[in-house]
Amino acid sequence: MTGDTLVCLTDGRRVPINSLVGTAPEVFAMSADGKIVAAKSEAVWRVGRRAVVAIRTASGRTIRATGEHRLFSSRGWSTVRTLREGDHLALARRLPEPAFAEVGRHATAHGCLVDQYAASGTTDENDVSWDRIVSIAPAGEEDVFDLTVPGPASWLADGVVNHNSGALEQDADVIMFLHRPAFYSKDPMEEEARKTAEVHVGKQRNGPTGKIEVAFLSQYARFENLAAGDRQFEPF
């Protein structure tokens, strides 16, 4: 998903996914029986620069994701590249935030609530409604992000049900990310900072999570430990 994708947090906020990198927020997810539940994420990270597709729905939402990203449609989990205009995406109809009631009325007015998908359950049986896709088009290349939620293996992007990044991250014992924020700065004062990088331990089954600074040796494209006095582990 692109960096401006809004992640629905359990405290009622909708936060851009790119601002959650390196954290493990509590999010909303969809259970196997179609209920919207609270779930603790394990990691949020930047995947890299990828070609993305823009999907616009009848409720006015625009979703931008890679072709391999999975969304829950009326046919079940579907990759973005297999979706077509007229398909329906699962949309949470119960979120603890006042603005969502207006979104729900707008969705109903555009025919997004349907009951003909018996295999997926009707809106009386679960917490999702269906939002019709009105257009799908390539949208260039952008930095994309993802997050992992154990258990429900899903999360809500502005109410739309998204799948986890995949079993690789979910099953791994340790997930670590390298981040070099100074690399993207043009400020000459950041020259010293470019010699370091952050290692984010987003998931570790048998140890702490957090971040630590390491040295970056650009001439060798290699990362090394900083001197003992210069490094400090910061828990999330």
**Whether 222 and 126 share a structural domain:** no
Of the pLDDT bands very low, low, confident and very high (cuts 50, 70, 90), residue 95 is: low
Task: Please report the pLDDT score of residue 73 as a whole number.
Answer: 94
1 within some domain? no
Cα dist. 42→22, 162, 207, 236 in Å? Answer: 10, 15, 13, 11
Could you tell me the two tokens for 135? 């257009």
Residue % of the chain over a pLDDT of 70: 79
Average pLDDT, the chain: 81
More confident residue, 158 or 117: 158
Reported pTM = 0.61
- The string of pLDDT tens digits covering residues 38-71 is 999 988 988 888 899 999 999 999 999 999 899 9
143 within some domain? yes
| CATH number of the domain residue 154 falls in | 2.170.16.10
**Whether 164 and 210 share a structural domain:** no
More confident residue, 149 or 101: 149
**Whether 153 and 166 share a structural domain:** yes
**Whether 126 and 159 share a structural domain:** yes
**Whether 186 and 83 share a structural domain:** no
DSSP 226: P
Cα dist. 76→2, 48, 86, 196 in Å? Answer: 22, 27, 15, 44
Give the residue from 134, 84, 82, 72 showing the smallest Cα distance to 107. Answer: 134
- Which of 18-23's residues contact partners 24+ apart within 8 Å by CB, and which partners? 18/46, 18/143, 18/145, 20/44, 20/147, 21/45, 21/46, 21/145, 21/177, 21/179, 21/200, 22/177, 22/179, 22/198, 22/200, 22/202, 22/211, 22/236, 23/236
Please tell me the total count of domains within the chain: 2
**Whether 81 and 146 share a structural domain:** yes
The residue segments making up the domain with residue 195 are 174-235
> Which among 156, 171, 186 is the end of a domain?
171
**Whether 208 and 136 share a structural domain:** no
